[in-house]
Structure 1
Amino acid sequence: MQRIDFSQPKWDQSTFTGRLKHFFWVTDPRSCVVSSEQLYEAKTLVEKYKNHREPPGTTTEQVWYARKLYESAFHPDSGELQNFCGRMSFQVPGGMLITGFMLQFYRTVPAVVFWQWVNQSFNALVNYTNRNAKSEVSSTQLGVAYVSATTSALVTALGLKTFLEKRAGSLLQRYVPFAAVAAANCVNIPLMRQSELINGIVVYDENGNAVTESRLAAAKGITQVVISRIAMAAPGMTLLPLVMEKLESYSWMQRIKFLHAPFQIVACGAILTFMTPAACALFPQRCSLDVSTLARFEPEQYEKLKKTVGEGSISKVYFNKGL
């Protein structure tokens, strides 16, 4: 039996299709209900298998399942068990509830304030959990990121709500939550990972050897994560307002208002089940940066790289962009 190569993903990560399959696998919401004990057992099996010490009779299917649980719950940089709500496997159940309620309760100021606060609290936790763990973040930086993102979301949501209430119909007002989420993502993620932008992140050669640090790599990775997060939210938060605006024009729909929120939650869940892995798959997890770009924009780090590996020995450096 051919052994599983843990240095390589199950699917080719150079293609979108391969990355999509991988993230469908890793973000599977069913992994949320697995106990911590089972997760640590999966981690132990993975470590034993890597060292050719797995229990006799262990099947390939068992190893693949253990790897799935391990990659869905443990951080790729630190190997630590991630908090439950911050795991990407919780993105669908967590996101569907919050997004559904944001889209349903957008008419009053207290509702807008409460659900935007809940959403940014959730986003801050996800962003921190899935950061590049090689870069430390202080409590002060976390606090500033959280307050700034929440403030930007509320300012955007309340500002647009006030502006549109007197100048636009109900349909445009339904898009206020998405505008707030997009604006907050542009603030939340960079601030939550500001230490990476300030100090740079460790970059590696193709064999995984650390060669230097780069702020440019951090900026590239964070930009891609921001785009992915906005893309993840966009279909549900832009299509559902159109659907609800049409449905609510029917008298039968107006008679079952108590089902509007459950309907939007379920619809958000259906969309996020696909969009979570699709958005994560937009860019490779193992991101790359041309050494020539590093030499042009970060000459000091390039000089450090030359001292480590020699000039012209590698053309690209690699790093984990986070999720």
Structure 2
Amino acid sequence: MASSVPGPIELPVSKYDQSSYWGRVRHCAGISDPTMLFTTENHLVNARKIISDYRNGILKQPTPEFWKAKKQLDSTVHPDTGETVFLPFRMSCNVISNVVVTAGMLTPGLGTMGTLFWQWANQSLNVAVNAANANKSDPMSTKQLLTNYTIAVSASCGVAVGLNKLVPRLKNITPSTRLVLTRLVPFAAVVSAGIVNVFLMRGNEIRNGISVYDQDGEEVGKSKKAAFLAVGETALSRIINATPVMVLPPLALIKLQSGFLKGKSMKIQNLTNLGLISATLFAVLPFALAVFPQRQSIHVSKLESELQGKTTKSGQKIEYVNFNRGI
């Protein structure tokens, strides 16, 4: 990210207003823009110079070139190390990488081995992306990473295989309802594993609390209540993010298979399925990602008693603090 470039002047968070939902949608669409995959090392060298000029006061105001440079760095470079993230795990490759595993998971008629393989592939991709983009100032140990990976894979595979065996045994439901439930099994598996993974990966935050800051950016203290809110919203965001991609394409495919695709070859049906998934990822994902703001404000009355009644350096009573929700 652009924040990896040193300098005394703070960078603007985004070109768009992050307090508004539409502003967050436009920001999320920018950092996940697949065209940023064409960014070369020469582009990054030039982008770092532009950002450095701003952070050191040479460039007085953000320009179109500044915003382009920030977008290139935010979608390609690690925020802590400043190193280029391996291509498949960059934010700019997020949509393309997910098209492959999502298409695999949503392929109709997968057997047990196919279900296990694609759930494993999805969780492996998630762990790789998280590891490649993780906070390097407080790295997770290899043991913790392997433990979380094993539990996430076990959860997704267990839910997927279990539901695939359960749905056919359900009585008093119509064949069409049974078909819909079968197609939604991958959604249930992905959501279950996603929630488990969030609480595992960020359990220390709930136990120890996260930093909350006053309006001047000064740390007020650590709050476990703010941490639980941050982790809870992140877990909920996993459901929201997965819903359009894992629900809309399979339901649309069922409708098409009873009409336009009826009698068509499996090749045409699979290509249609891939097209539906790709279109949904590109069009809907930024709207899902933008539901919760990255930085949030909360009244101190909702936090621990020791964080209440404090004042800023200028002596002003602190009523609201803000914190970074994380992703």
Normalising to structure 1: TM-score of the pair? 0.84
1:61-210 alignment, distance < 5 Å: 61-75=64-78, 81-129=84-132, 135-167=138-170, 169-210=178-219
5 Å-filtered alignment, 1:204-219, equals 204-219=213-228
Structure 1, unaligned runs of 5 or more: none
Question: Displacement of 1:23 after TM fit?
Answer: 1.4
User: Offset at 1:83?
Assistant: 4.3
TM-score (norm 2): 0.83
Inter-partner Cα distance in structure 2 for 1:308 and 1:251: 65
Deviation at 1:275?
A: 2.5
1:60-106 superposed Cα distances (whole Å, 9 cap, x missing partner): 22111001112223455665644433333222111122111111155
Is the 8 Å Cα contact of residues 261 and 269 (structure 2) preserved in structure 1? no
Per mean C-alpha deviation after superposition, the further-off stretch among 192-201 and 264-273 is 192-201
Q: Report percent identity of matched pairs.
A: 35
1:47 is displaced (CA, Å) by 1.8
**Equivalent residue number for residue 326 of structure 2:** 322
CA distance in 2, matches of 1:123, 1:177: 15
- Counting matched residue pairs gives 313
1:35 aligns with 2:40: yes
Report deviation, 1:42.
Answer: 1.6
Match of 1:44 in 2: 49
> What corresponds to 1:220 in structure 2?
229
Distance of 2:76 and 2:102 partners within structure 1: 23
Separation in 2, partners of 1:13, 1:260: 40
What are the ranges of 5 or more consecutive residues in structure 2 without an aligned counterpart?
1-8
Alpha-carbon offset, residue 271 of structure 1: 1.0
CA distance in 2, matches of 1:106, 1:307: 61
Give the letter for the 2:267 counterpart. Answer: F
Change (3 A) 1:149 1:241: same
Map 1:16-35 → 2, pairs under 5 A = 16-35=21-40
Structure 1 residues 211 and 46, CA gap change in structure 2 (3 angstroms): same
Query: Residues 221 and 322 of structure 1 are in contact (CA less than 8 Å); yes or no, is this contact kept in structure 2?
Result: yes
* 1:109-140 Cα distance to aligned partner (Å, 9 max, x none): 00100000011111223344555665442222
Q: Deviations over 1:269-291 (max 9, x none)?
A: 21111322112211111123332
Question: Is the 1:225–1:322 Cα contact (8 Å) retained in structure 2?
Answer: yes
Partner of 1:283: 292
| Residue range with higher mean Cα deviation, 111-120 or 275-284 | 275-284
Check whether the contact 1:20–1:277 (CA below 8 A) recurs between aligned residues: yes
DSSP 3-state at the match of 1:73: coil
